[in-house]
A = this chain, B = another copy of it.
Amino acid sequence: MHKSIITISREYGSGGRHIGKCVADKLGIPFYDKKLITQVAKESGLDIKFVEETGEYSATDSFLYNLAISNIYPFDNIYSKDSMTLENKIYIFQAKVIKEAAEKGPCVIVGRCADYILRDRKDCLNVFIHADIEKKRERVIEYQEVNVKDVDREIRRVDKARANHYNQYTGEKWGNIKNYHLSIDSGAFGIDGSVEMICKACEL
C-alpha cells in the first residue's frame, strides 16, 4: 500500500501515543503531537493548554451545521468569522496545521481527527489502537496521576470525550472499524509488537 503519513487514533491507556512515537523513531520521520499543539497555539494566539484540551476533547453540535449553512469551505475565510466558537476555530486551525504537516512529507500524527482531516490524501495509513480494560487500567495507573479507585471512571471519561469530539467534528463514529486500515489490540501485541505491525503495514 506504500503509505507514508500515519495517523493514529487510540483509546486512553492503550499506549497509542507511545506506539506512534516509537513508529516515528523507527522510521526516522517526524512525530506530531505536542509540536502540532504548539503550532496551533502560535497561529491562533490562544493559550497552549487550552488548545491541548480543546483540540481533542471538546464537542459542539453546531460545527458541521455551521459549515453546512455558511458556505465557508474552504477554510481560508473562516478565521474572522465571529459566529464561530473558540472550539470551532481551534478545529479549523488544527486542520490547517495538520494538512501543512502532511504536505511536508512522511510523518506520524496522533489523534485530533487527523484521519478525517487528511481523508482526501491517498498516502495515509489510518490506525486505531485499543486494548482491554485490564491492560488500559495497568497503563494509566503506571503512567498517569490517576488514583486506583478512579481509574475506570477516568478511562471512560477520556474515551467518551475523544469519541464525542471526533463524532461531532467529522460526522463519523470514533472507533468504527471501517474508518481504519488497521486496528490493533495493543494489549495482545504489546507496545513493541504493535510498532512492528504498523511498520510492516507501511512496507507493504
Contact = CB atoms under 8 A, between A and B. Distances in A.
A190 B128 CA distance: 19
A119 interface: no
Nearest to A201: B197
A94 interface: no
Interface in A124-144: 125, 128, 130, 132
- Counting every copy of the chain, the complex holds 2
Contacts of A196: 200, 204
Contacts of A75: none
Interface string A35-72: 00000000000000000000000000000000000000
Interface of A: 1, 125, 128, 130, 132, 175-178, 180-185, 188-190, 193, 196-197, 200-201, 204
